[in-house]
Structure 1
Amino acid sequence: MVIIFIGPPGSGKGTQANLLKNQYNNLIIITVSNLLIEKSSDGSDFGNEIKEKMDKGELIEDTVVNDVLSAKLNFLKGKNILIDGYPRSLTQAKFLKQFLINDKSKFVINFNVDKEVLRKRIEKRAQIESRKDDNVFDKRFDIFLKSNEEIINYLKTHFELKNIEANSTPEAINVEIQRFLSD
């Protein structure tokens, strides 16, 4: 089973991933940003290139992201996986569709949240976790909205896709996700 979570920053993807991990003992959570951080610190030439771009705040090219993710997915072939926050571009969505072509159970969950609800969540998270990247909320949200519609339209033709209204409590959202995964 492969579960893909898509949603803007602060939409609850990480919270729901952790809840599902507790409910499915063998579920492995993959966060692309963590994979890139891991790769950037491995000392390889490829890793050093990624680190340099990340240190400058530059976007990592789709091909690089896809290479890092595919290496991890190949390593975990046959396992139950949750991919958090990917794809972020149509190129990545097309790659994912092709990469998972033989997997039978593929679910995409798109987290929809009102912008002001997100802003409050992110402000609260920033106070608790001192996350630096949460200061750029408007920019990240706008970038997400621009690319997300195209990605969702593509994915819904190739995967089972559920739009979740993620304005409510984590428990209520989890119930809706569980219902979708068990149908």
Structure 2
Amino acid sequence: MQILKPFQPFIRRNVQQASLLNRYLIVISNRGFHESAATKRASPTHDSVPMRILLLGSPGAGKGTQSARIQKNFNVGATISSGDILRQNIARGTKVGKIAAEQMARGAFVSDDIMIELIKNELSAFEQQNWLLDGFPRTIKQAMALDENLILTGQPLNLVINLHVPEDVILKRIMGEKLMKRPDDNPETFKIRLQKHHTLIEPLLKYYAKHGILVTCAGRT
């Protein structure tokens, strides 16, 4: 996996977090990752700034694997999955969980307002920890609400990592028995899921690129 787009604006804004990404890429380089010139120029420093990282990527891109590596190798106190939060609230029968369950039962997506409320409540428990958020935001409205909430706490996002994996590679991955984790993990349904993902992700990538905190990594294995 390699860096597709340099992130000089990010380095200028926060060298401490750039050095963190540099070390992260070095740690996993033996698994197919490669450093960019931009990361090599980042000087190591102490990690005094709280990490607020988003991990974006299509189904099958390996977000879970990379989340685990970041959490294992760095002082990331929590890896937060929006899907897990949603399922937990539905299982506990919370107010927002019940509303989400009703929306899903109608075949609709969980509304932005409900997802924003779920994530906002969850993040309040991790204000003193470094964290990585997976699966949220999925819309510009969600992204703007997340930014607003984090700015109010004085701890805005430091980094957004987009895992870009070609469709043919993802389809090869899901054909492997060890990666068959969902009943609909087959080429036909996966192509539909990928198309939906691409439609949702493009506005988010432009949004975070504009803010200078987006790093896109490409993987082919």
TM-score (norm 1): 0.82
What CA distance in whole angstroms lies between the structure 1 residues aligned with 2:117 and 2:60? 26
What amino acid maps onto 2:203 in structure 1? E
What CA distance in whole angstroms lies between the structure 2 residues aligned with 1:52 and 1:105? 32
- What is the root-mean-square deviation in Å for CA atoms of aligned residues? 1.9
1:143 is aligned to 196
**CA displacement at 1:75 relative to structure 2:** 1.4
**CA displacement at 1:130 relative to structure 2:** 3.7
Question: What is the aligned-residue identity percentage?
Answer: 29
2:78 is aligned to 28
Q: Which has the higher contact order (CA 8 A, sep 6+)?
A: 1
Contact kept in structure 2, 1:13 and 1:85, CA below 8 Å = no
Bigger Rg, structure 1 or 2: 2
1:179 is aligned to none
Contact kept in structure 1, 2:96 and 2:118, CA below 8 Å = no
What CA distance in whole angstroms lies between the structure 1 residues aligned with 2:179 and 2:210? 39
SS at match of 2:101: helix
Aligned residues: 167
1:153 is aligned to 206
Contact kept in structure 2, 1:4 and 1:84, CA below 8 Å = yes
Aligned with residue 111 of structure 1, among 148, 163, 167: 163
What amino acid maps onto 1:112 in structure 2? H
What CA distance in whole angstroms lies between the structure 2 residues aligned with 1:129 and 1:137? 11
2:185 is aligned to 134
Contact kept in structure 2, 1:8 and 1:144, CA below 8 Å = yes
Structure 1 unaligned segments of length 5 or more: list them.
169-183
Contact kept in structure 1, 2:96 and 2:114, CA below 8 Å = no
**CA displacement at 1:20 relative to structure 2:** 1.1
